[in-house]
Structure 1
Amino acid sequence: MNQSSMNAILIFTAYGPPSAVNTFFFILTFLVYLITILANLFLALVIIMEPSLQKPMYVFMLHLAINGVIGSTSVCPKIMDLLISSTKESSYEGCLGQVFFINFYASSAYAILTAMAYDRYVSICKPLQYHTIMTSGKVKQLVFVIYFFPITALSTQVYLTSKLPLCKNNINKLFCDNLAIVNLSCVKSNLGNIFGIFIIIFLVVLPLILVVISYIKILAVCLKTSKDAQKKALSTCTPHLITFVNFSIASLFSVIYNRFNDYIPSHVNFFMSLHFILLPPLLHPLIYGIRTLEIRKCIAKILRKRENHSVADYSLKFRTLAEQSGWNETSLLVNFRHELNPRIQAELQYQGEALESMQIYPHQMVVPVEYQDPQEVFSKEQAVVLPAHRP
């Protein structure tokens, strides 16, 4: 970075003075940002904690959620600060850092979606070879490529931009982007322009072509299969396809925003700029959470675990209730039935004799296996024995 630009302060002119409108947009941005962070972190935790989701598709989904957190965090805190601050300023180094992370978010998202399209292609077009092709080593290689090329290319781009001398310091945008900083320069860099075109082709156009080719081949295979196979393929590909189309539309809005923001009304300018940063990371976990059956099952499983008691908790509570009831046999049966899983309670309505067949001895209570909570991990050959600890 040249010495004259090193200490430069950039001023954002798109915000205007603090007002009620700015406060409204601050609250809106904060709420969307908060929901985005929570939704993506929740999806990431579900994938990490659930062993059944340790598959290539969900590994890529995990990285897409992390990428969404990076993208929204690179912009939203600074926008919220500028909305309520009396000084609409940013350091030149901070602006370059924002440029890097925004572009990293966009290019990595396209790379992840391309890897997911490849995974779907192998799964549908080469099902018998899927586990041979999509090995853990292959997934790690794809993840490495997803991050290596964007980091390398974008670091070079930011370095080339930082070498340009600045003649102006006013940016008529809500956040920094590479084109806005280049337009502040006194000179034009042919090398920077050529490298920028290379980045667009390599990190945007090429992934787009690969995804389209993948879905053309998937469609060709699906047309030759049965209706049930077509429905299964459609349910598998729909979340990814919706996510890819959503992100592509957001990217198109970003291009329009970057090229024509001087001619767009301020409130439209605000929504178009945030659409690219906020909506895709917000919608991606919601789309996958709603449309992906395995994700829904795992979320329901986690929620059920929070509602269920562990064996230790149940045993302690049972002993406490037993002492309070004076070890009354009828009271113990009622309390035991109350603590059963709701599904088993419903079954007992049709099997009234089941509880009557349970044996309660003075010194122990044996709970048959069929009445155990199915969410708990037990051996099917064993029963839960609750010592009476009777005085």
Structure 2
Amino acid sequence: MSDSNTTKFTNPSTFILLGIPGLEAAHIWISIPFCAMYAIAILGNFTILFIMKREPRLQEPMFYFLCMLAVTDLVMSTSTVPKMLSIFWFNSREISFSACLTQMYFIHCFSAMESGILVAMALDRYVAICHPLRHSAILTNSVVAKVGLAVVLRSGILTLPYPFVARLWPYCRTNIIPHSYCRHLAVVNLACADIGISSYYGLFNLFSGIGMDVFFIAMSYTQILQAIFRLPTKDVQLKTFGTCISHLCAILALYIPMFFSSITQRFGHYVPLHLRVLIASVYLLVPPVLHPIIYGVRTKQIRDRLLRLFTHKET
């Protein structure tokens, strides 16, 4: 590995991922919760998709967005966790240059896509609670399709500069990435050039894209909470409020680690490296685990369909 530190190259054929620097001795133990969470995420999100396909009555905007969220969670976790586990279990740290840039694109693209889907779901909740009689008229299948397409195009286009610009930088310092996956800044920081454009573009995406998503979600839920307190009975208020709180917990589980990880990656050099990498790794796994539970199991229609499925199998 010391040879890799001293080798001069401008076009690395491979990068070396360190996993979680400083915690190499604990990689096996860290892999246990990572593997368990990944298995739960795969099982939960595939179950959501299976139920949606089998249940024609769940043809509503919320469930369309939930399908998109499940697919996004599956892609986002699968693009990182298998490689992480191969590092933890088999010390398989090499990743080709092209595979690294591809992983970078998928991670950042689907993270942004997940954020956009959460905005769409917050919009659906806003219309359902604040304008229930107009819900079907406002969120038609055509509108849902356009919103979904806009989310996909926005994420795909805004993320494209990450791998393309990263490919242009000369890499003549080292090919060792002190991270568990090919995160954008972790890769371009290895370049022996002024990477200001990459860093500033990343900040632009964070605050203009993700920041605007957070703003719209906050506005939606502010209106939702105001509408909840105008509901006629306490029981209905508490039930709707409980649903909204669980949704907000899922939203915070994505955004808090995302912002913390992005900011500390640039400015938080006082934060230990292993903590930064650990949080950046975990935040790609926690939302895919929580979403099937919060948006799936806690949704009555899906829960009932799941119970019928198991009851039918037992009988």
TM-score by length of 2: 0.87
Query: Would you say the 8 A contact 1:12–1:172 is kept in 2?
Result: yes
SS at match of 1:51: coil
Which amino acid counterpart does residue 219 of structure 2 have in structure 1? I
Q: In structure 2, what is the equivalent of residue 114 of structure 1?
A: 119
User: CA separation in 2, counterparts of 1:234 and 1:62?
Assistant: 24
Matches within 5 A, 1:1-391: 5-14=10-19, 21-86=26-91, 88-168=93-173, 169-227=175-233, 228-255=235-262, 258-259=265-266, 260=268, 263-264=271-272, 266=274, 268=275, 271-308=278-315
Quick one: distance in 2 between partners of 1:19 and 1:156?
32
Q: Which has the greater radius of gyration?
A: 1
Q: Which amino acid aligns with 2:225?
A: L
- How far did residue 307 of structure 1 move? 2.7
Contact 1:253–1:276 (Cα < 8 Å) also in 2: no
Shift of 1:41: 0.5
Asked if the contact 2:21–2:178 (Cα under 8 Å) also holds between the matched residues in 1, the reply is no
1:177 positional shift: 0.8
Alpha carbons 2:185, 2:199 under 8 Å: kept: no
Cα deviation 1:112-137 (Å, max 9, x = unaligned): 11000000111111112111111011
Paired with 2:203 and 2:148, the residues of 1 have a C-alpha distance of 24
Greater mean deviation of Cα atoms: 169-178 or 137-146: 169-178
State the TM-score, normalized to the length of structure 1.
Answer: 0.71
Kindly provide the CA deviation profile for residues 282-340 of structure 1, in whole angstroms up to 9, marking residues without a partner as x: 111122234222221111111122233xxxxxxxxxxxxxxxxxxxxxxxxxxxxxxxx
After TM superposition, give the deviation of residue 269 of structure 1 in Å. Answer: 5.2
Measure the CA separation in 2 of the matches of 1:88 and 1:53: 43
Counterpart of 1:386 in structure 2 is: none
Conserved in 2, the CA contact under 8 Å of 1:8 and 1:91? Answer: yes
- 2:285 aligns to what SS in structure 1? helix
Q: CA deviation at 1:94?
A: 1.4
Is the 2:77–2:284 contact (alpha carbons within 8 Å) kept by the matching residues of 1? Answer: yes
Structure 2 vs 1, CA of residues 124 and 19 (structure 1 numbering), >3 Å: closer, same or farther?
A: closer
Listed one character per residue, the Cα deviations across residues 5-42 of structure 1 (whole Å, up to 9, x for unaligned) are 54432223455799773333334432321221111111
Stretch deviating more after TM superposition (14-23 or 140-149): 14-23
Which residue is 2:3 aligned to?
A: none
Shift of 1:86: 4.3
Structure scoring higher RCO (CA < 8 A, sep ≥ 6) equals 2
Gaps of 5+ in 2: 1-8
* Cα 1:78/1:111, change in 2 over 3 Å: same
Relative to structure 1, is the Cα distance of residues 225 and 34 closer, same or farther in structure 2, using a 3 angstrom cutoff? closer
C-alpha spacing 1:178/1:20, structure 2 compared with 1 (3 Å)? closer
CA displacement at 1:157 relative to structure 2: 2.5
The root-mean-square deviation of aligned C-alpha atoms, in Å, is 2.5
Q: How many residues align?
A: 304
CA contact (8 A) 2:19 2:87 kept: no
> Gaps (5+ residues) in structure 1?
309-391
Q: From the superposition, tell whether residues 261 and 22 of structure 1 become closer, same or farther in structure 2 (CA, over 3 Å).
A: farther
CA deviations 1:122-172 (Å, max 9, x no partner) are 111111211111101111011101111100110123212211111222221
